[in-house]
């Protein structure tokens, strides 16, 4: 059942279109991760969902009820939407203790229930302290407890790990997942970190320039990244300049006289395009591949990430090697990991 639905939503801020014709729905019990670059409209989407901003056009439905529609003159304020939100910078009220921060969000200021929530998140010993007296990770746990306090229909998480260090992020990510799954709360998480999406998402929605470009399960997204940015998000590198051609019914490009099979996305035969390949689909063994030179090599968590320079190309392709790579080699690719996208302005 659909819990939250954006229907052709437009949002402008300072006369700039932040979201355009957004069509997106979230199913009950689902954990949807929204990803995108800076200015893609991720946080605005979240703020529209909770009611901190109003749409300029289109409708938002929550649990089948229209909560925001300028055309119909409908707007339900945040406090009546029964949602919980965890803010990027925690947004804990500094003059209150952790316990009071949670209790204030409970109907009737129920302090014992607030205490239970803190205990559930293993921070009950911090109850009497104020936010300024605890660490960032602990603050985020208090923020989560506060968001869960009103037993929300929908939990919104706005880049919840971006202010935390790596260790705390990893621990809190799993902790949050556990709590959300146990409570069965529908969750919308906004992040710019691909790891959040891979570790947490049931589905991933990708925003680019205020438009929803793809919304799919992590596996589907990995198999068919619709844009170059999504390909990069799945680990692809490159951006080599080429022209698409079809040889013996196989799509691909020709680089340094060698044909490279590839999966085109919105590219036709004869179009100029950019080639992206994931390291797991590129290897340098054999004699018939494209000749290449090692440009750079970095030791990375037990493997060598090797950057290969191809003839006539300014950009590199990557491989992951178990042993130190040779200075030269011949490069092969797996069609499942090589994608072609329309030529873009590269910087």
**Binding region for other proteins (CB under 8 A):** 14, 50-52, 70, 77-80, 83-85, 87-97, 99-100, 104-105, 107, 109, 111-112, 114-116, 119, 127-128, 146-147, 149-150
Q: Which residues are CB-contacts of 223 (< 8 A; sequence separation ≥ 6)? A: 336
Min separation Cβ 123 and other proteins, Å = 14
Structure tokens at 222: 């990995």
The CA angle 21-34-213, to the nearest 5 degrees, is 45
Q: Among residues 129 and 305, whose Cβ is nearest to other proteins?
A: 129
Structure tokens at 11: 């949002």
Q: Which is nearer to other proteins, 88 or 169 (CB)?
A: 88
**DSSP helix/strand/coil, 88:** coil
d(CA 160, CA 180): 14
Of 113 and 283, CB closest to other proteins: 113
Nearer to other proteins, 119 or 328 (CB): 119
In the complex, the smallest distance separating the C-beta of residue 42 from other proteins, rounded to whole angstroms, is: 16
Please count the other Cβ atoms lying within 10 Å of the Cβ belonging to residue 266: 11
CA 202 to chain centroid, in Å, comes to 12
Considering beta carbons, is residue 54 or 272 the nearer one to other proteins? 54
Q: How far is the CB of 134 from other proteins (least distance, A)?
A: 14
Closest CB to other proteins among residues 91, 303: 91
- CA-based nearest residue to 49, from 172, 168, 188: 188
Give the H or E element holding residue 48.
Answer: helix 42-50
Minimum Å gap between C-beta 318 and other proteins is 39
Task: Report the SS3 class of residue 104.
Answer: coil
Closest approach, Cβ 34 to other proteins, in A, equals: 18
Q: Which helix (H) or strand (E) holds 150?
A: none
Q: Closer to other proteins by CB, 70 or 136: give it.
A: 70
Shortest distance, position 165 Cβ to other proteins, whole Å: 21
CB atoms within 10 A of CB 37: 13
Burial class (CB in 10 A: 0-12, 13-18, 19+), 334: middle
Backbone dihedral region for residue 93 (phi beyond 0: left; psi -120 to 50: alpha; all else: beta): beta
Give the list of residues 6+ apart from residue 249 with CB closer than 8 angstroms, or none.
none
- Taking the least distance from each CB to other proteins, the nearer of 149 and 340 is 149
For residues 37 and 222, what is the distance between their CA atoms, to the nearest angstrom? 18
Q: How far is the CB of 26 from other proteins (least distance, A)?
A: 17
Closest CA to 260 of 315, 343, 231, 241: 241
CB-wise, 80 or 345, nearer to other proteins? 80
CB 198 within 8 A of CB 29: no
Residue 289: count other Cβ atoms within 10 Å of its Cβ.
18
Closest approach of other proteins to the CB of residue 109, in Å: 7
CB of 254 to other proteins, least distance (A): 50
């Amino acid at each position: 059942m659909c819990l939250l639905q954006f229907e052709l939503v437009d949002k402008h801020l300072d006369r700039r279109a932040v979201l355009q014709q957004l069509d997106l729905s979230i199913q009950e019990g689902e954990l949807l991760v929204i990803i995108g670059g800076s200015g893609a409209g991720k946080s605005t989407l979240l703020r529209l969902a909770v009611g901190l901003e109003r749409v300029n056009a289109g409708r938002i439905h929550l649990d089948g009820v229209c909560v925001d529609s300028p055309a119909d003159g409908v707007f339900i304020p945040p406090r009546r939407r029964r949602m919980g939100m965890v803010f990027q910078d925690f947004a804990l009220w500094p003059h209150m203790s952790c316990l009071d921060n949670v209790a204030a969000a409970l109907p009737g200021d129920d302090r014992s229930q607030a205490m239970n929530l803190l205990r559930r998140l293993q921070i009950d010993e911090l109850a009497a302290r104020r936010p300024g007296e605890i660490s960032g990770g602990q603050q985020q746990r208090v923020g989560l407890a506060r968001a869960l306090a009103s037993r929300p229909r929908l939990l919104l998480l706005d880049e919840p790990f971006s202010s935390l260090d790596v260790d705390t992020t990893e621990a809190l990510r799993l902790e949050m997942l556990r709590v959300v799954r146990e409570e069965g709360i529908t969750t919308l998480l906004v992040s710019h970190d691909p790891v959040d999406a891979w570790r947490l998402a049931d589905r991933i929605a990708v925003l680019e320039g205020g438009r929803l470009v793809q919304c799919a399960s992590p596996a589907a997204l990995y198999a068919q990244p619709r844009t170059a940015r999504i390909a990069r998000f799945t680990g692809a590198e490159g951006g080599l300049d080429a022209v698409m051609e079809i040889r013996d019914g196989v799509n691909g490009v020709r680089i340094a006289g060698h044909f490279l099979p590839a999966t085109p996305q919105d590219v036709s035969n004869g179009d100029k395009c950019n080639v992206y390949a994931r390291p797991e689909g590129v290897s340098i063994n054999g004699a018939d591949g494209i000749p290449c030179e090692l440009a750079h090599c970095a030791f990375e968590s037990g493997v060598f990430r090797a950057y290969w320079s191809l003839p006539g190309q300014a950009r590199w392709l990557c491989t992951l090697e178990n042993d130190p790579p040779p200075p030269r080699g011949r490069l092969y690719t797996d069609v499942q990991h090589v994608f072609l996208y329309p030529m873009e302005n590269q910087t």
